[in-house]
Structure 1
Amino acid sequence: MASNTDPTRREEDDDTATATEQTPLLPPSTDAEAHTSHPPDGSARTSLLTSLQTPTSTSKGKKRRWPSILALATLCIVIICIIVFAFLAPSITESYAQQAAVFTPLELSIDSFTSSGVKARIKGHFSMDASRVEKKSVRDLGRFFTYIASQAETGESDVEVSLPEYGNLVLGTARVPPVWVSIRNGDTTLVDVVADLRAGDVGGIRNVAEDFVKGRLGQVRVVGKADVPVKSGVISLGRQRVVKEMLFAGKDVPKLPAYHIGKLDVHDIDLPEGGTGMMANVSISANNSYPIDFTLPSLGFDILVPGCAEDNSLIKLGDAETQETHILPHEEVMLNVTGLVHSLSPNLTKNCPTQNSDDKAMSPLDRMVARYLHGSNNTLYVQGSPSQPNPNTPSWLTDLISDIMVPVPLPGKAVQGHLIRNFSLTDTHFALPDPFAEPGTKAGNPRISANVKALVALPEEMKFELNVSRVRADADIYYHGKKLGTLDLHKWQAATSSRVPANGDGKKGEKKEELLLIESAVKDAPVDITDDDVFTDVLQDLLFGGKDVRMQIRALVDVEVGSAIGEFVVKGVKGEGSVVVKPISPSPGSGGNGGVGVPREFRPKVFGLQILDTSPTSLTLGARVNISNPTNYSASVPFMDIHILANETVIGHATAKGIEIVPGRNDNLYVEAVWDPSTLGGEEGKKVGREFLSQYISGYNTSLTLKAHEGSIPGNPGLGRVLGRFGVEMPTPSLGGAPRKTLPGEPDDGDGDGDGDGKKKKGPHFLDDATFHLLTSTATFTLLSPLRQTILYVESINATAFYKGDSVGHIDYDLPFAVPPVGPGGEGVVSPRLPVDWSLGSVGYEAVKGALGGRLKLAAYAEVGVRIGEWREGVWFRGGGIGASVRI
Structure 2
Amino acid sequence: MSDEEASPLLSAAAKGKSKARDQAESSESTPLLSNSSATPRYDGEEDEHNGDSNDSSPAHSTDTSPTSTSTKNSRRWASAIAIALLAGIILAIIAFAFVVPQAVQEYAQQAAVIEPTNLSLESITKEGVRARVQANFHLDGSKVGSNYIRNVGRAVTWVAAQLESEETKVDVRIPKYDNVLLGSAIVPPLLINLRDGDVTKFDVVTDIIPGDPEGIRIIANEWFEGRLDKLRLNGQADLSLKSGIFPLGTHAISESIVFEANKVPAVPKYNITRFRVDDGPMKGSMLADVSLTAFNEYPVGLNIPELAFDILVPGCASSDPFILVAEAATSEVHLEPRSDVVVDVKGVIRELPDSLTHVCPDSTSSPLDNILRQYMHGDPATLFVRGSRHPDGDTPKWIADILSSVTVPVPFPGRTLDGLLRNFSLTDVNFALPDPDVPDSNPTVSGTILVTAGIPSEMNFGINVTNVRATADVLYKGNKMGELNLREWQDANSTRVEGEGDEGPMLKIQSRVVDAPLNITDSTVFAEVISALLFGTEPVRLHVDALVDIKVKTTLGDLTLKEVPAEGKIPVKPLPKGAIGSIEPKVGSLRILDTTSDSITLQALVNVTNPTPYTAHVPYANIHVLSNDSIIGSATVENLKIDKGSNSNILVTAKWNPPMGGAHGRKVGRELISQYLSGWNTSITVKPHRNSIPGQPIICEALSKFNMTLAAPKLNLPGDTPEEKTHFIRDATFHFFSSTATFTLVSPLQYNTLYLDFVNATALYNHTEPIGQIVYDLPFSAPPGKSQTPKLPVTWSLDSVGYDAVRKAIGGKLKLDAHANVEMRLGNWRESLWYQGKGIGASTNKTGHGQDAEALLAVRPAAEALGAADRHLDGDPGVRAGRDVLPDQS
Contact 1:318 1:341 in 2 (8 A): yes
Specify which of 819, 832, 838 is matched with residue 796 of structure 2.
Answer: 838
Q: Matches of 2:481 and 2:176 in 1, distance apart?
A: 65
Larger Rg: 1
Cα displacement (A) at 1:335: 2.6
SS at match of 1:276: coil
Q: Matches of 2:812 and 2:105 in 1, distance apart?
A: 152
Cα-to-partner distance string for 1:589-637 (whole Å, 9 max, x where unaligned): xxxxxxxxx5332222222445566666554544433322222111123
Counterpart code for 1:363: S
Counterpart code for 1:408: V
Contact 1:100 1:133 in 2 (8 A): no
TM-score, structure 1 as length reference:
0.76
Alpha carbons of structure 1 residues 101 and 820: separation in structure 2 relative to 1, 3 Å: closer
**1:386 aligns to 2:377 (yes or no):** no
Aligned to 1:660: 641
Cα displacement (A) at 1:808: 1.9
Q: How many residues align?
A: 750
Cα displacement (A) at 1:434: 3.2
Aligned to 1:733: 713
Contact 2:771 2:803 in 1 (8 A): yes
Cα displacement (A) at 1:131: 4.6
Q: Matches of 2:450 and 2:399 in 1, distance apart?
A: 54
Aligned to 2:774: 811
Q: Matches of 1:193 and 1:262 in 2, distance apart?
A: 37
Alpha carbons of structure 1 residues 685 and 132: separation in structure 2 relative to 1, 3 Å: same
Mapping of 1:215-294 within 5 angstroms?
215-231=226-242, 235-239=245-249, 241=251, 243=253, 245=255, 247-250=257-260, 253-270=263-280, 274-294=282-302
SS at match of 1:292: coil
Aligned to 1:635: 616
Aligned to 1:9: none
Counterpart code for 2:368: L
Contact 1:654 1:671 in 2 (8 A): no
Counterpart code for 1:391: G
- Identity over the aligned pairs, expressed in percent? 43
Aligned to 2:325: 317
**1:776 aligns to 2:722 (yes or no):** no
Counterpart code for 1:414: T
Mapping of 1:494-533 within 5 angstroms?
494-502=491-499, 505=502, 512=503, 514-533=505-524
Aligned to 1:568: 559
Alpha carbons of structure 1 residues 180 and 329: separation in structure 2 relative to 1, 3 Å: farther
**1:176 aligns to 2:187 (yes or no):** yes
Aligned to 1:864: 822
Alpha carbons of structure 1 residues 299 and 830: separation in structure 2 relative to 1, 3 Å: same
Q: Matches of 2:211 and 2:263 in 1, distance apart?
A: 21
Contact 1:318 1:342 in 2 (8 A): yes
Aligned to 1:111: 123
Mapping of 1:432-831 within 5 angstroms?
432-438=433-439, 441=440, 444-502=441-499, 505=502, 512=503, 514-585=505-576, 587=578, 599-611=580-592, 618-666=599-647, 668-677=648-657, 680=660, 684-714=664-694, 716=696, 719-737=699-717, 741=721, 754-755=722-723, 765-767=727-729, 770-787=732-749, 792-804=754-766, 805-819=768-782, 831=789
Q: Matches of 1:620 and 1:199 in 2, distance apart?
A: 98
SS at match of 2:301: strand
Cα displacement (A) at 1:876: 1.4
Contact 1:770 1:882 in 2 (8 A): no
Alpha carbons of structure 1 residues 329 and 165: separation in structure 2 relative to 1, 3 Å: farther
Q: Matches of 2:486 and 2:423 in 1, distance apart?
A: 19
TM-score, structure 2 as length reference:
0.76
Greater Cα offset, 185-194 or 362-371? 185-194
Q: Matches of 2:220 and 2:682 in 1, distance apart?
A: 92
Alpha carbons of structure 1 residues 787 and 342: separation in structure 2 relative to 1, 3 Å: same
Contact 2:270 2:295 in 1 (8 A): no
Q: Matches of 2:807 and 2:525 in 1, distance apart?
A: 69
SS at match of 1:211: helix
Alpha carbons of structure 1 residues 244 and 543: separation in structure 2 relative to 1, 3 Å: same
Alpha carbons of structure 1 residues 612 and 175: separation in structure 2 relative to 1, 3 Å: closer
Q: Matches of 1:86 and 1:566 in 2, distance apart?
A: 73
Cα-to-partner distance string for 1:171-208 (whole Å, 9 max, x where unaligned): 33333333456555444454434333333333233323
Specify which of 359, 371, 374 is matched with residue 351 of structure 1.
Answer: 359
Counterpart code for 2:652: E
Gaps of 5+ in 2: 1-95, 845-869, 872-890
SS at match of 2:218: helix
Q: Matches of 1:278 and 1:620 in 2, distance apart?
A: 71
Greater Cα offset, 205-214 or 463-472? 205-214
Cα displacement (A) at 1:146: 5.4
SS at match of 2:532: helix
Q: Matches of 2:97 and 2:117 in 1, distance apart?
A: 33
Alpha carbons of structure 1 residues 190 and 838: separation in structure 2 relative to 1, 3 Å: same
Alpha carbons of structure 1 residues 522 and 852: separation in structure 2 relative to 1, 3 Å: closer
Aligned to 1:38: none
Counterpart code for 2:387: G
Cα displacement (A) at 1:695: 1.1
Contact 1:605 1:627 in 2 (8 A): yes
Contact 1:266 1:278 in 2 (8 A): no
Specify which of 185, 197, 202 is matched with residue 213 of structure 2.
Answer: 202
Q: Matches of 1:861 and 1:465 in 2, distance apart?
A: 82
Contact 1:325 1:335 in 2 (8 A): yes
Cα displacement (A) at 1:798: 1.0
Contact 1:765 1:784 in 2 (8 A): yes
**1:408 aligns to 2:427 (yes or no):** no
SS at match of 1:537: helix
Specify which of 361, 364, 371 is matched with residue 367 of structure 2.
Answer: 364
Q: Matches of 2:261 and 2:536 in 1, distance apart?
A: 66
Structure with more contact order per residue of length (Cα contacts < 8 Å, sep ≥ 6)? 2
Q: Matches of 1:802 and 1:859 in 2, distance apart?
A: 5
**1:373 aligns to 2:376 (yes or no):** yes
Q: Matches of 1:692 and 1:708 in 2, distance apart?
A: 21
Aligned to 1:884: 842
Greater Cα offset, 682-691 or 657-666? 682-691
Alpha carbons of structure 1 residues 136 and 102: separation in structure 2 relative to 1, 3 Å: farther
Aligned to 2:429: 428
Q: Matches of 1:154 and 1:682 in 2, distance apart?
A: 118
Q: Matches of 2:740 and 2:460 in 1, distance apart?
A: 95
Cα displacement (A) at 1:560: 1.8
Cα displacement (A) at 1:858: 1.6
SS at match of 2:634: strand
Q: Matches of 2:220 and 2:318 in 1, distance apart?
A: 27
Alpha carbons of structure 1 residues 135 and 279: separation in structure 2 relative to 1, 3 Å: farther
Q: Matches of 1:555 and 1:307 in 2, distance apart?
A: 27
Q: Matches of 1:366 and 1:839 in 2, distance apart?
A: 96
Cα-to-partner distance string for 1:13-40 (whole Å, 9 max, x where unaligned): xxxxxxxxxxxxxxxxxxxxxxxxxxxx
Contact 1:545 1:585 in 2 (8 A): no
Contact 2:112 2:137 in 1 (8 A): no
Alpha carbons of structure 1 residues 94 and 835: separation in structure 2 relative to 1, 3 Å: closer
Cα-to-partner distance string for 1:558-615 (whole Å, 9 max, x where unaligned): 122222222232222222222222212563xxxxxxxxxx533222222244556666
Counterpart code for 1:547: E
Q: Matches of 1:87 and 1:697 in 2, distance apart?
A: 134
Alpha carbons of structure 1 residues 503 and 375: separation in structure 2 relative to 1, 3 Å: farther
| Superposition CA RMSD, Å | 3.6
